[in-house]
């Protein structure tokens, strides 16, 4: 910025200013030769494997047919994007996606962090390890198994949830949880909690190990209770990790997936269960349209980038750990 300014204002003299800046730069470059050399392969690698294939994004502007070569494809301009936004359902599926992602994000973050913090307070090594091991196991179950169990547990006829609610007198008729749209988002949220709390807490447990234990000793001397130590030392200690994960996940807010919703949804509640990904499947691949998914992918990518830039700026203003 400054360089441009000085050039336009006084064209011929003052050659020393840019020169000295350049010199500083050059010196910096020299001093960082090793870091630059070390990072060079990483730059080449990511460009080759992640950016070169993005040529494929041209698909979004074509009526792509796999049978044809690149130059034989029919170009349709923004047709595929128009298709997405022209459909009144698309706004609805965006709403569903946002709602479910947000609920998932809040619930899984809260539960994973709480689980890691509380598990950290367990003194007995074996109890701690056993609980941790058990808690991450559902990560290995496929969604089809997990949703099957969720449906059994919530069944109005035999489900344990209805039995408990009836026994406690909270309800007098069993609830058919999958017939009423108002439960669906929460069911998906808690299914996610169930499957991923333990797995998600691994990162936080690792982060906790880096906290300086002298802090705890100092706090003990000050007479802090266990809760206060957790709240004032452990939690701030893992805050950078929490922030980084939060920032990354905000970028994924338009990815609520499709498998859970697909497996748990039904006709009665499809107005709340369909996500962007399901919409794309229905109108894309199943109607022989390979381009629609690419168009939706570009749309999601752009939104993601806007979101993480905004979130990153906010994190910066708040003085917290940030992505870049």
Partner 1 sequence: MKKISISDVVFDLIKWTFLIFMTLATLYPILNTLAVSFNDGMDTLRGGIHLVPREFTLENYRTVLQKDNLIQGAIVTVSRTVFGTVTQLFVTALLAYILSRKEFIFRKPITLLYIFTMYFNAGIIPNYLWLQKLGLINTFWVYVIPGAVSAFNVLVIRTYINGLPDSLVESAKIDGASHFRIFINIILPLCKPVLATVAIFIAVYHWNSWFDAMLYNGFNDRLTTLQYELMKLLSSVTSQGGDVESMKHTKSMVTPASVRAATTIVTALPIVLIYPFLQKYFVSGLTIGGVKE
Partner 2 sequence: MIKINKIAEKIGAKADVKWLTGQTAKERIGVMIAGGEYPDFVDASDGTPEMVEAGAFVPLDDYIDDYPNIKNLFTEQEWNLIRSAHGKIYYIPQFGVVKGEYMRTQHNGEAFWIQKRVLKWAGYPEITTLDEYFDLIEAYLEANPESEDGQKNIGFAIITDDWRYFALENPPQFLAGYPNDGKAIVDPETLEAKVYDTIPEAKIYFKKLNEMYNKGIIDPETFTMNYDQYLAKISSGRVLGMVDQYWQFSDAENSLRSQGMDDRTYVPLDLVIDPNVTPQYLDKPHVNPARGLGITVSCEDVEGALQFLNDLLDPEVMIMRYWGEEGVDYEVDENGRFYRTEEQRANHRDTNWVTQNKADYNYFPTYEGLIEGTQNAVHPSEQPEEFWDSLTDIDREVLEAYGYEKWTDFLTPVEENKPWYPIYSAVDSWTADTPEGIAAVKMDEVKKQWLPKVIMAPTNEFEREWEEYMTVYHNEVDIEAYEKALTEEVRRRVEAALGN
Residues 81-110 that bind partner 2 (CB under 8 A): 83, 89
Handedness of CA 141, 145, 151, 152 (dihedral sign): negative
Please list every residue from 136 through 165 that binds partner 2, using CB under 8 A. Answer: 147-148, 151-152, 155-157
Return the residue matching tokens 């619930």.
107
Q: Which one of partner 1, partner 2, none interacts with residue 71, CB within 5 to 8 A by kind? A: none
Site residues (CB under 8 A) for partner 2, limited to 17-76: 63, 65-67
Q: Which of 188, 283, 296, 315 binds partner 2 (CB under 8 A)?
A: 283
Helices 88-120/235-251 angle, 10° precision? 160
Phi-psi region of 163 (alpha: psi -120 to 50; beta: other; left: phi over 0): alpha
Closest contact distance (angstroms) between CB of 81 and partner 2 is 13
Which one, 268 or 307, has the nearer CB to partner 2?
Answer: 268
What lies within 8 Å, CB to CB, of 85 at 6+ separation is: none
Residue 107: name its binding partner from partner 2, partner 1, none (Cβ under 5 to 8 Å by kind). Answer: none
Which is nearer to partner 2, 192 or 274 (by Cβ)? 274
Six-digit token string for 292: 């629609």
The partner in contact with residue 209, picked from partner 2, partner 1, none with C-beta cut-offs of 5 to 8 angstroms by kind, is partner 1
Q: Among 98, 205, 235, 268, which residue interacts with partner 1 (rule: CB under 8 A)?
A: 205
Lookup result for tokens 């479910």:
100
Q: Does 186 bind partner 1 (CB under 8 A)?
A: no
62 — phi, psi (to 5°)?
A: -120, 170
Residue 271 interface partner, choices partner 1, partner 2, none, CB cut-off 5-8 Å depending on type? partner 2
Q: How far is the CB of 116 from partner 1 (least distance, A)?
A: 10
Phi (first) and psi of residue 7, to 5 degrees: -70, -40
165 in Cβ contact with 171 (< 8 Å): yes
Cα dihedral 147, 152, 153, 157, rounded to 10, equals: 150
Cβ proximity of 261 and 275 under 8 Å: yes
220 binds partner 2 (CB under 8 A): no
Which of residues 207, 269, 272, 276 is near partner 1 by CB under 8 A? 207
99 contacts partner 1 (rule: CB under 8 A):
no
The answer to whether residue 178 forms part of the interface with partner 2 (CB under 8 A) is yes
Tokens 């690792």 correspond to: 206
By CB under 8 A, residue 271 contacts partner 2: yes
Dist CA 71 CA 299 (whole Å): 24
| 184 part of the interface to partner 2, by CB under 8 A | no
Residue 131 interacting with partner 1 (CB under 8 A): yes
* Residue 132 binds partner 2 (CB under 8 A): no
| Rounded Cα gap, residues 188 and 182, in angstroms | 12
Q: According to the binding rule CB under 8 A, does residue 49 interact with partner 1?
A: yes
- Given a contact cutoff of 8 angstroms between Cβ atoms, the answer to whether 138 and 195 are in contact is yes
- Sole binder of partner 2 in the list 266, 306, 310, 314 (CB under 8 A): 266
- The answer to whether residues 216 and 223 touch, using CB atoms and an 8 Å cutoff, is no
Q: Interface residues with partner 2 (CB under 8 A)? A: 63, 65-67, 79, 83, 89, 147-148, 151-152, 155-157, 176-179, 262-263, 266-268, 270-271, 281-290, 292
């Amino acid at each position: 910025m400054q360089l441009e300014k000085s050039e336009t204002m006084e064209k011929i003299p003052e050659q020393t200013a840019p020169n000295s800046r350049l010199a500083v730069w050059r010196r910096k470059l020299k001093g960082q030769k090793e870091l630059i050399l070390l990072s060079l392969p990483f730059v080449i690698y990511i460009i080759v494997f992640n950016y070169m294939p993005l040529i494929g994004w041209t698909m979004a502007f074509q009526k792509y047919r796999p049978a044809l070569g690149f130059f034989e494809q029919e170009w349709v301009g923004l047709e595929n994007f128009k298709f997405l936004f022209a459909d009144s359902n698309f706004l609805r599926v965006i709403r569903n996606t946002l709602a479910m992602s947000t609920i998932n994000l809040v619930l899984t973050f809260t539960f994973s962090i709480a689980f890691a913090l509380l598990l950290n307070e367990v003194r007995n090594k074996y109890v701690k390890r056993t609980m941790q091991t058990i808690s991450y196991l559902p990560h290995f179950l496929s969604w089809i198994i997990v949703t099957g169990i969720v449906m059994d547990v919530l069944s109005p006829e035999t489900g344990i949830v209805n039995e408990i609610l009836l026994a406690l007198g909270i309800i007098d008729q069993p609830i058919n949880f999958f017939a009423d749209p108002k439960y669906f988002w929460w069911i998906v949220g808690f299914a996610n909690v169930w499957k991923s709390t333990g797995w998600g807490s691994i990162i936080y447990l690792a982060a906790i190990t880096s906290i300086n234990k002298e802090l705890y000793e100092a706090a003990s001397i000050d007479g802090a209770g266990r809760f206060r130590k957790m709240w004032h030392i452990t939690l701030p200690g893992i805050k950078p990790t929490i922030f980084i994960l939060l920032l990354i996940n905000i970028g994924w807010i338009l990815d609520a997936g499709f498998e859970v919703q697909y497996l748990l949804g039904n006709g009665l509640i499809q107005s709340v269960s369909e996500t962007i990904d399901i919409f794309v499947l229905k109108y894309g691949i199943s109607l022989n349209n390979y381009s629609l998914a690419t168009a939706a992918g570009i749309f999601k990518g752009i939104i993601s980038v806007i979101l993480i830039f905004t979130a990153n700026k906010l994190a910066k203003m708040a003085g917290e750990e940030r992505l870049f």
